[in-house]
Amino acid sequence: MTAAGLRRRVRPPSSAFLVPVPPVQRVSGWCAAGGTASVGQGRHVFGGSVTVVSAATARAAAPGTVTFAAVNGAIERIVPPLAAELSPVRVNAVAPGAIDTPWRSFLSDDAKETQFAAAAEGLPAKRIGRPDDVADAIRYLIGSTYVTGTILPVDGGFTVS
């Protein structure tokens, strides 16, 4: 899952002209965002952000999560090198913990409430995450022009508790 945000210059300097960059480029099997390049006086300026979504299981030793840990660990390990290779396009990741989404719809309401209550009790935040928590983190990473190569945990403190 990938979230991408692009920063575009509304009015280029008069000595520059805009060169469209393909909206999506394939990079090592992952989608990377294209943007608009401002070209002027022999200079290329690109902007943009790629935010990949991992999970807290990449950094936790929870029984039954070895497959998730391997996949999410691999996703997180590509973030720093991609940030270096795609610079000045910024590359970051969000690593959510337990989030109340339809992904757990296979559970009955009672079973889900029981699992969430037990999980929340063990978290420093004392609650299960909401989709808005993850969306806010992605929005932050897309908008923060000085943050790149970062994995941002959104897990209520799961990976520090």
pLDDT digits over 46-72, tens only? 678 999 999 998 988 888 889 989 999
Helix, strand and coil percent figures for the chain, each rounded to 5: 35, 25, 40
pTM of this structure: 0.71
- Mean pLDDT of the chain, nearest integer: 78
Q: What is the pLDDT, as a whole number, of residue 46? A: 61
Q: What is the pLDDT, as a whole number, of residue 9? A: 37
- Catalytic entry in 14, 54, 144, 161: 54
Residue among 18, 14, 19, 149 nearest 85 (CA): 149
d(CA 77, CA 64): 21
pLDDT digits (tens, 9 = 90+) for 65-113: 899 899 999 999 999 999 999 999 999 999 999 999 998 889 999 999 9
What percentage of the chain exceeds 70 in pLDDT? 71
Q: How far is CA 23 from the centre of its chain?
A: 18
With 80 as the cut, is the pLDDT of residue 136 above it? yes
14 annotated active-site = no
d(CA 156, CA 126): 7
